[in-house]
Amino acid sequence: MNPSARLKPIGVFDSGIGGLTVLHELMRLLPRESTVYFGDTARVQYGNKSETTVQRFALEAAQLLMQHGIKFLVLACNTVSATSLTLLRQRLPVPVVGVIEPGAQAAAARSRGGHIGVIGTAATVESGAYQKAIAAWRPEANVVARACPLFVPLVEEGWTRHQVAEEVARIYLSPLKAEGVDTLVLGCTHYPLLADILSLVMGPEVNLINSASEVARVVRDELERRDLLGQASRPTHRVLVSDGPERFSRVARNFMGEDLGPVELVAVPAAAAVG
Ligand code: DGL
C-alpha cells in the first residue's frame, strides 16, 4: 500500500447533522485519522423521500467527497445505508461501509430471546434493510419495525429530554413493548440522543443498539484489513454542508458537546442518473 493513501481522510456522509454521532465515535476510536464530513443540510430530511431520490442525492454526495480525496466512505445515515449501499459500492473506487449491517449484527448477537425491535425513518423501515440483515444473522428472530418520523425534528429542536418527546416515544414504542422486544435497534442517526427517554419507556431490561458505535468498530477493522489505517500525528477534520453553516454549528453543540471549528458551505455536484 502506498503510504500516502493511508494519510487520506475518511469521508463521512449524512443527510444533515445527525451523522455527527457517527463522526464522534470514529474520532474517539480512530484518533489518528483525518475526516471530511458532509451533511446535506439543503435537502434533509431524506427519511421521508423516495428511494430513487435518496439514491441520486447519495451519488452526488459521494462524488463531492471523492473530490476531497477520501480513502474510505462511511454512510452515517441509516436512510442512505438502507437504500443506496449496494449502488455506491458498485459506483465508487473506494470501500463503502453503512450502518445497517453492524447494527443488525449487534442486535442479533445481543438479543436474549430473538425478539428485536427496529425504529428508523419511514424510508429505512420500508426498505426492509434491517429486517433482512437481522434475519441473515439470526433467521429465527422475530423482528418488529416501526417508523418514528417525529423523533428527528424533536432532536433537531434539542428536545431530547422534553416531556413531549417522552409522550411521542410512548406512542411510537407501545406496539414494540406489546410484542415484548428484548432489544431495540436505534436505526437513525438522531435516536442515540433520545437514548435516556427510549430506555425509560422500554424499561431497563431492553438492550438499546446504537448503530453509530457499532459502525466505528467495523470501520477500524476494515481499515486494518485493507492496510489503510491512518497514523497522522496531526489529523485534520473538515465539515462541509450544503446549507446553513451557522445553524449547523449551533445544533452541533447539542450533538457533540464541543465546537466543530469552521463549517464550510459547498455546492453539491450533479451526478449521473441512477439506474
Ligand atoms: N440521517 C437520517 C437517518 O439516519 C435521519 C434524518 C433524515 O431523515 O434525513 O436515517
pLDDT range class, residue 28, cuts 50, 70, 90: very high
Q: How confident is the model at residue 260 (pLDDT cuts 50, 70, 90)?
A: confident
Residue 40 carries which side chain, given as an amino acid letter? D
Ligand 1 atom closest to Cα of residue 82: 10
**Ligand 1 neighbourhood includes 18 CB (under 6 angstroms):** yes
From residue 260, give the alpha-carbon distance in Å to each of 21, 151, 246.
13, 24, 11
Measured in Å, residue 189 CA sits from the centre of ligand 1 at: 6
- Report the alpha-carbon distance of residue 124 to residue 46 in Å, rounded: 10
196-221: average pLDDT: 95
Percent of the chain, pLDDT > 70?
Answer: 96
Which residues participate in catalysis according to the annotation? Answer: 77, 188
Q: For ligand 1, atom 2, name the residue with the nearest CA.
A: 77
Q: Count Cβ neighbours within 10 Å for each residue of 212-245 and write b for 16 or more, e otherwise.
A: bbbbbebbeebbeeeebbbeeeebebbbbbbebb
Q: Is the CB of 188 within 6 Å of ligand 1?
A: yes
Atom in ligand 1 nearest the alpha carbon of residue 121: 10
Output the pLDDT for position 255: 65
For position 273, what pLDDT does the model report?
57
pLDDT at residue 49 tops 90: yes
Which amino acid would we find at residue 246? Answer: E
pTM: 0.94
pLDDT, greater one: 275 or 123: 123
